[in-house]
Amino acid sequence: MERAKPQPSNWTVPFFTIWTGQTFSLVGSGLVQFALVWWLTQTTGSATVLATATLVAILPSVLLGPFAGALVDRWNRRVVMMVADGFIALATLGLAYLYSIGAMQVWHVYVIMALRAIGGSFHWPAMQASTSLMVPKEHLSRVAGLNQMIQGALNIVCPPLGALLLGVLPLHSIMMIDVTTAAFAILPLFFVHIPQPQRSAPAGNKPSLWSDVREGLSYIWNWPGVMAILVMATVINFLVNPAFSLMPILVTKHFGGQAMQLAWIDSAWGIGVVVGGLTLSVWGGFRRRILTTLVGLVGMGLGTLVIGFAPATAFGLALAGMLLAGFMNVITNGPAFALIQAVVEPDMQGRVFTVMMSLTGAMSPLGMAVAGPVADAFGVQVWFVMGGVVCILMGLSAFFIPAIVHLEDGRGEHAAAQGKVLASPVAADAVGR
């Protein structure tokens, strides 16, 4: 049975009530992230410490992702989001207390960053999977564009706002802002209903957690179109993310710039993301979402290529490339998220999203391990050129791969092949149903 669709006349108020609370929480999280990184920088001045902090913030989602997704698909997603937000807030509250009594140490920050990442490993897939049950399919790309726009705006606003607050407030007070904004995220969830997908397993025959994890992996592996999207995302994270992580080296060694030039190029990316998100939220993309994603991927490759080929005397050209790459990043990612939400059965989305998150997340540190020596040997521009060329080739090649181009046409056929029933989202709200 096809899942029930929200009526256009009544979906906006409940969804955007939750969405607004979650956005406030993202602001608080961004401020705390900036403040903690700055505290680590000022306290230790160690690049190793900062790298370790990044690693502990990534590893939980990489290692726990498939299991978290399986649990999200088992449990009530509204409750998962409430518990995850509350868990993150309590962890932050504990760190704020340690700082207020003068007992906070570097390892405490590592622990809290890891705990916050564990909470995020459950919260993110629960929110993504809930979105597909609350938002009509034809509006998923617009909502994804809006999400991308907010992320871009936060990247622009949170660092200077965090720096301003650090000048007038002690660190533990900034952490309390995050606790307060978490309350804005949790409270609406007490009053707004989130539809739940029915489990396809027969009653009284509840599979083990490991069986659920294997089912999620098998689901992706046996659907060539979804598998191709995952491979493309993994390659992008391996090549492109490390390139942009090396931007400070490009600015200083290639362009001979200083902190202000780095700020300009970071702002160009953020502006591109905001404009791209606004464009996608208004436009919605092509009828076939995958075509929007592939056009965006080619455009992102072109922007990255412009950065890599920009001469040392053409910093303005690099700014233009960064602006284009940021804009096209949204055009690539927004419809891709909406596509997965539209074609994957609701009771599988937690597992699918977290498997994708785990594999793509693991690529960033692996890519950095390779990119560093390559950049030292041949220059940072080489990595930007490689990333740009691969994005363009993948995007253009995918137009000729039927499994990718017709991904949105095969939802029912794939479900039948897997022996699944497309379930209605209306089901019991009990946790561990």
Query: Do 347 and 198 touch, CB atoms closer than 8 A?
Result: yes
- Note whether residue 219 is domain-resident: yes
- Cα angle 293, 344, 417 (rounded to 5 degrees) comes to 120
What does the alpha-carbon distance between residue 227 and residue 220 come to, in Å, rounded to a whole number? Answer: 6
Query: Do 109 and 94 touch, CB atoms closer than 8 A?
Result: no
Quick count: other Cβ atoms within 10 Å of Cβ 167? 7
Give the domain range for residue 124.
Answer: 12-185+208-417
What pLDDT does 420 receive? 45
- Each residue's pLDDT expressed in tens, for the chain with a length of 433 residues: 334 444 445 888 999 999 999 999 989 998 888 888 888 878 887 767 776 887 788 888 888 877 888 888 888 989 999 999 999 999 999 999 999 999 999 999 999 999 999 998 899 888 988 888 888 888 888 888 888 888 878 877 887 788 788 888 899 999 999 999 999 999 999 998 888 776 555 445 667 777 777 787 888 888 888 888 888 988 888 888 777 777 877 888 888 887 678 778 878 888 898 899 889 888 888 988 899 999 999 999 999 999 999 999 999 999 999 999 999 999 998 888 888 888 888 778 878 887 887 877 778 778 877 877 887 788 888 889 999 999 999 999 999 999 899 888 755 444 444 444 333 332 223 323 2
Tokens representing 108? Answer: 């405490």
What pLDDT does 205 receive? 62
- Note whether residue 91 is domain-resident: yes
Contacts of 2-7 with CB under 8 Å at 24 or more apart are 2/422, 2/424, 3/133, 3/197, 3/345, 3/346, 3/422, 3/423, 3/424, 3/425, 4/195, 4/424, 4/425, 4/426, 5/136, 5/137, 6/133, 6/134, 6/135, 6/136
Q: What is the dihedral of CA 62, 360, 200, 206, to 10 degrees?
A: -20
- Note whether residue 264 is domain-resident: yes
Alpha carbons within 13 A on the beta-carbon side of 118: 14
Alpha carbons within 13 A on the beta-carbon side of 405: 8
- Note whether residue 423 is domain-resident: no
pTM of the model: 0.70
What pLDDT does 385 receive? 93
What pLDDT does 416 receive? 44
Number of structural domains, the chain? 1
- φ and ψ of 105, to 5 deg: -125, 170
Among candidates 157, 10, 129, which has minimal Cα distance to 165? 157
- Note whether residue 6 is domain-resident: no
How long a stretch of residues is the chain?
A: 433
What does the alpha-carbon distance between residue 274 and residue 363 come to, in Å, rounded to a whole number? Answer: 25
What does the alpha-carbon distance between residue 57 and residue 279 come to, in Å, rounded to a whole number? Answer: 31
- Cα angle 126, 129, 132 (rounded to 5 degrees) comes to 145
What does the alpha-carbon distance between residue 102 and residue 97 come to, in Å, rounded to a whole number? Answer: 9
Query: Do 420 and 192 touch, CB atoms closer than 8 A?
Result: no
Contacts of 44-50 with CB under 8 Å at 24 or more apart are 44/106, 49/106
What does the alpha-carbon distance between residue 176 and residue 161 come to, in Å, rounded to a whole number? Answer: 15
| CATH code for the domain of 241 | 1.20.1250.20
Contacts of 37-40 with CB under 8 Å at 24 or more apart are 38/162, 38/163, 38/166, 39/109, 39/171, 40/106, 40/109
- Note whether residue 153 is domain-resident: yes
What does the alpha-carbon distance between residue 313 and residue 254 come to, in Å, rounded to a whole number? Answer: 9
- Note whether residue 156 is domain-resident: yes
Q: What is the dihedral of CA 320, 325, 327, 330, to 10 degrees?
A: -170
- Note whether residue 215 is domain-resident: yes
State the burial class of residue 192 (Cβ atoms within 10 Å of its Cβ: 0-12, 13-18, 19+).
middle
